[in-house]
Chain A
Amino acid sequence: MTLQPNDRVATTPESGIRKFFELAEERDDVISLGVGEPDFSAPWAARTAAIHSLEAGKTSYTANRGKLELRQAIADHVSQWGHTYTPDSEILVTTGASEAVDLALRTFLDPGDTVAVHQPTYISYKPGVRFAGGEPLSVPTGADNDFVLTPEALREAGAAEADALIFCYPNNPTGAVMSADEIAAVAEFCVDNDIDVIADEIYAALTYDGDHTSIATMPNMRERTVVINGFSKAYAMTGLRLGYAMGPADAIEAMNRVHQYTMLSAPTTAQYAAIEALRSCQESINEMATEFNRRRRFVISRFEEMGLDCFTAKGAFYAFPACGGDDEAFAENLLEEQGVAVVPGSVFGPGGAGHLRISYATGMRDLKEAMTRIESFVADR
């Protein structure tokens, strides 16, 4: 047989999100609360910088690690979270944060290595681990604990034996944020059990109750953590595909070896946009975050009024209410009867069952209408 996918690919199912995408695409009256990207466009100054770079003919590769000017700007930007990374040697600009996650997995995993992945979480981690030859290990988090990852949950799941942990807070799909103390406890577990950490901090700029705390800033964590972030969520630049990885020089050098042979460099136009975004767009970013925060409060209070249990998500742009039953059936019927698309929580792993991921990256008018429709759907049950 020709072009047969290998076992790892063949046994990886298509994302559960796909089905809802197809259902939603069939109708044109749908209000979607299923979108995992901002409804804003990238700040105009950043777009202008990209246009100018094209006009000036800046269309060649950049250095493998990305333009130094950008790495310098990133280093300054992340210092707000206590990160101290040297632009020359400890930062790698990637094609989206997704490439950075993939690079980290392919760089650090040996065949058969176990990677702990807390659940529910972003859908790409487990397939990424498998594609890199590793074995994902699910570690549950639940609504009873506001979807916080604990050392107890890690221990019970057998993660003490794991080689690495993928750690994503503020979390997609729950919107959960962990406190500094809670993160410190996970960090201690990782140090005690010699576990490397891939910290996906793509939503770090979108926290609504105090600043983001990075696990890499906990004692003895810097040397075992690769921090990943990017421009997609906070800068509304998803389509520009630009992220970055930060870590100790040796780790970044190793990741860059994979990156230079497979990607060469991240998109040049996007790098120019990103430099400008970091230089002059903080105000647009703050306005977006303020708007998200208003919608977050609105959505959570509407769910409470409907009688759906909704823990107080404090980050990203997701709420994660309990739907009181089969989440897939709920989501399908809601789409069918009321034309509102949401993503069933079980798509994001076992801990997500019985919940819905509600993205509030949608204008207030649609958001209000969607909540009214969900309310009448719930009332009819």
Chain B
Amino acid sequence: MDEKQELLSLLSTDAREDVDDIARQLGTDAETVVSLLDELESDGTVRGYQAVIDWDNTDSQHVAAFVELNVELDRETGYKEIADRIARFPAVESLRLVSGDYDFAIEVTGDSMQDVSQFISEQIAPIPEITQTVTHFIMETYKEAGIDFGDRDDDDRLSVSP
């Protein structure tokens, strides 16, 4: 693995490490890490750094839904044009073109189920190219971004062993 790949692999495990600790783990110096990060950010490889939050552990209202979208393309409108229009809504957390029974898979968040339903029916469904929406409210999250929410990491090893 080259240094860039190693840095990406480390960031995908824990993006909150400070630059000095990253440098120590990669066996390089802090300046190198800073310039690699600059490069990865400016060429659009690293798009952001976010926490993985288990919203069920907070007091805040947080409702999310996966929505399947079917679309009809015409001569002037391709997937890209439709995607651009959907992506602009802040409530759309993710947007992907997928293979299979439907075209786009999007994730929408809001403060309540009503909030989310209203957004789909008033903002998404009326887009002329969209022919069908199927909304799946998320009832429970067990794992996200590679992190198992059920795994509380209890270390039951002997504290000292040969």
- Tell me the smallest distance from the CB of A196 to a CB of chain B, in Å: 24
* Bound: A291/B155 CA distance, A: 17
- Shortest distance from the beta carbon of B94 to any chain A beta carbon, whole Å: 25
Q: B50-72 CB contact bits vs A (8 Å, 1 = yes)?
A: 00000000000000000000000
Given A294-B26, A298-B25, A368-B21, A34:B10 Cβ within 8 A: no
Q: For chain A, residues 27 to 42, give those with C-beta under 8 angstroms from any C-beta of chain B.
A: 30, 32, 34-37, 39
- Contact in complex: B160, A32 (CB < 8 Å): yes
B150 within 8 A of A: no
CA distance A32 to B27 in the complex (A): 24
A34 close to B160 (CB less than 8 A): yes
Asked whether A17 lies within 8 Å of B162 as measured between CB atoms, the reply is yes
Chain A CB within 10 A, most for which of B24, B27, B162: B162
Is B14 in contact with chain A by the CB < 8 A criterion?
Answer: yes
Which one of B13, B24, B157, B160 has the highest number of Cβ atoms from chain A below 10 Å of its Cβ? B160
A290 contacts B161, CB within 8 Å?
A: no
CB < 8 Å A-B pair total: 59
Cβ A21 vs Cβ B24 within 8 A: no
| Distance A349 CA – B27 CA, assembled complex (angstroms) | 31
Taking CB atoms and an 8 Å cut-off, the chain A residues in 292-315 that contact chain B are: 294-295, 297-298, 301-302
322-376 of chain A: CB within 8 A of chain B = 341, 343, 363-364, 368
The reply on A123 being an interface residue by CB < 8 A is yes
Chain B interface: which size bin? 10 to 19
Judge whether A341 and B160 touch: CB under 8 Å: yes
- Report which of B17, B25, B157 forms a contact with A37, defined as CB distance below 8 A: B157
A23 to chain B, nearest CB (A): 8
- Considering only CB atoms, which chain B residue lies closest to A16 in the complex? B162
B120-133 interface mask toward A, CB cutoff 8 Å, 1 = contact, 0 = none?
00000000000000
Tell me the bound Cα distance from A15 to B162 in angstroms.
9
- Alpha-carbon distance between A46 and B161 when the two chains are bound, in angstroms: 24
Contacts of A123 in B (CB 8 A): 162
Task: Collect the chain A residues with CB atoms within 8 Å of residue B25's CB.
Answer: 294-295, 297-298, 364
**In the assembled complex, B158 has its CB within 8 A of some CB on chain A:** yes
The answer to whether A36 and B9 touch across the interface, beta carbons within 8 angstroms, is: no
Q: A301-B24, A341-B160 are in contact. Are A39 and B9 (CB under 8 A)?
A: no
Query: Please, how many angstroms separate the alpha-carbon atoms of A294 and B7 in the complex?
Result: 11
Partner of A21, one of B10, B13, B17, B161: B161
Does residue B42 face the partner (Cβ distance < 8 Å to A)?
A: no
Cβ of A290 and Cβ of B157 under 8 Å apart? no
| Chain B residues positioned under 8 Å from A189 (CB to CB) | none
Q: Hey, which bits of chain B sit against chain A, CB under 8 A?
A: 1, 9-10, 13-14, 17, 21, 24-27, 153, 155, 157-162
Q: List 17 A-B contacts (CB under 8 A).
A: A15-B162, A17-B162, A21-B158, A21-B159, A32-B160, A34-B160, A35-B160, A290-B1, A294-B25, A294-B26, A297-B24, A297-B25, A298-B24, A301-B24, A343-B160, A363-B153, A364-B25
Beyond A36-B161, A36-B162, 9 extra complex contacts between A and B, CB < 8 Å: A20-B160, A21-B160, A30-B159, A34-B161, A35-B157, A37-B157, A39-B155, A297-B26, A343-B160
Q: 4 closest pairs, A vs B, by CB?
A: A34-B160, A294-B25, A21-B160, A24-B159
